[in-house]
Amino acid sequence: MSKLPPEVKEKIIKLKASKRETSDLIGLNCIIILSKEIFKKNEDLKNYTDNVFQDIFLPYLFKSRTLLIARTTRNVYRYDETEKAKFVERIYDFFEDDFEVKESKKKSYNKANENMRKWMRALDKND
């Protein structure tokens, strides 16, 4: 599995924070499954479906991404609001490493800003 493209990260974050429309969830799932950037081989999708859908899919579905999309779309279409929220949370958890990198960079950036402010205050006191 490769890193998530930035546009997919943004969609996951938006869905996590807002009302979850079924069409948005299906679209996100389709983008993830069809992306050769995220999953280079079809067999790599097995781990994704096991973790996100928590369902057993027969091996023939992994021979074609479009077959897998059809099956997973049927599942997502049946979700109620609580299941939709759990679905987005499981997607976020599955790609958690991609989001943690961004947060750690943000923390180091904030620390650098704070150090700069301290330095500027020290210079102002000396003047």
Which residues, at least 6 apart from 90, have a Cβ–Cβ distance to it below 8 Å?
51, 52, 54
CB 54 within 8 A of CB 91: no
Band the pLDDT of 100: cuts 50, 70, 90.
low
pLDDT over 80 (residue 115): no
Distance CA 24, CA 21 (A): 5
- Predicted pLDDT at 1: 63
Length of the chain: 127
Residue listed under structure tokens 């974050």? 13
Sign of the C-alpha dihedral computed for residues 42, 46, 47 and 50 taken in this order? positive
Residue 113 in this model has a pLDDT that exceeds 90: no
What are the percentages of helix, strand and coil residues in the chain, rounded to 5? 80, 0, 20
Mean pLDDT (whole number) for 2-17: 81
List the chain domain ranges. Answer: 6-94, 97-127
Average confidence score pLDDT of the chain: 85
- Given this model, what pLDDT does residue 106 score? 53
Write the pLDDT tens digit of every residue in 50-83.
999 999 999 999 999 999 999 999 999 999 999 9
Stated pTM of the model: 0.72
> What is the Cα–Cα distance from 10 to 12, expressed in whole angstroms?
5
Q: What is the pLDDT of residue 101?
A: 52
Residue with structure tokens 């992994």? 62
